[in-house]
Amino acid sequence: MKRLENRVAIVTGGTAGIGEATALRFAREGAQVVVWARNEARGKEMEKKADKVDTSDFEAITAAAKRVADKFGKIDILINNAGITNDSTLKKMTVEQWQNVIDVNLSGTFYCCKAVLNYMLEAGYGRIVNASSVVGLYGNFGQTNYVATKAGLIGMTKTLARALGRKGITVNAVAPGFIETEMVAKMPENVLDGMRAKVPVGRLGRPEEIAAAYLYLASDEAAYVNGAVLSVDGGMTV
């Protein structure tokens, strides 16, 4: 039997990079996958799964969750993968830059959790996995807004885990390190070399490796894992 057989999963930010790898892996494992994304899906396989939704808009998220529940009868899994960056030093960062990242990364995750909660409570079952980051654990220059959201997601994860565990809903987080997404691949080679030098295993991670972590936490194999932050970073936070 496949690991997510008969499960209904929502993956936010699922049309590229880690989100796309996650959506495709979950589908291979038997899940009915719905992708929420602000951008149009690329490729026919992702087009079939994608629903254009702004995760910083609570009303839009609530309506999207209802569409999923109406179509499939339930919502079992939520992968809060959507996130953006808008980097700047504190001196140069505008209020708009700050708020933009907070709205998508932190408020958006809260909105998604709230939108699916009643469906999970009714079923007495749910798996919520939030995307934090290694920088949420140790900070990073020029990313005050981004780091604040990723550290905040760790606190949100642990709080929701305590609140929902007895209801059959587990809430965990994954903290990826440097991952070889399309955006990262476009960086200058000397920058990439510097990134690799910080990783004990000597390479960048692959989106599929983060998808595998999401899969574990979304599966029944992780039924006793709740409130955890799983670092997938090649040893950066050791």
Residues with active-site annotation: 146
Amino acid at 182: E
Phi and psi (nearest 5°) for 86?
A: -155, 75
- Does the CA dihedral 187-104-147-120 come out positive or negative? negative
Residue 78 pairs in a beta bridge with: 10, 128
Q: How far is CA 185 from CA 14, 132, 137, 145, 231, in A?
A: 18, 21, 24, 23, 21
DSSP state of 122: H
Q: Assess contact for 36 and 51: CB atoms under 8 A.
A: yes
Distance CA 176, CA 110 (A): 20
Cα R_g (the chain), whole angstroms? 17
Of 231, 235, 20, nearest in space to 136 by CA: 231
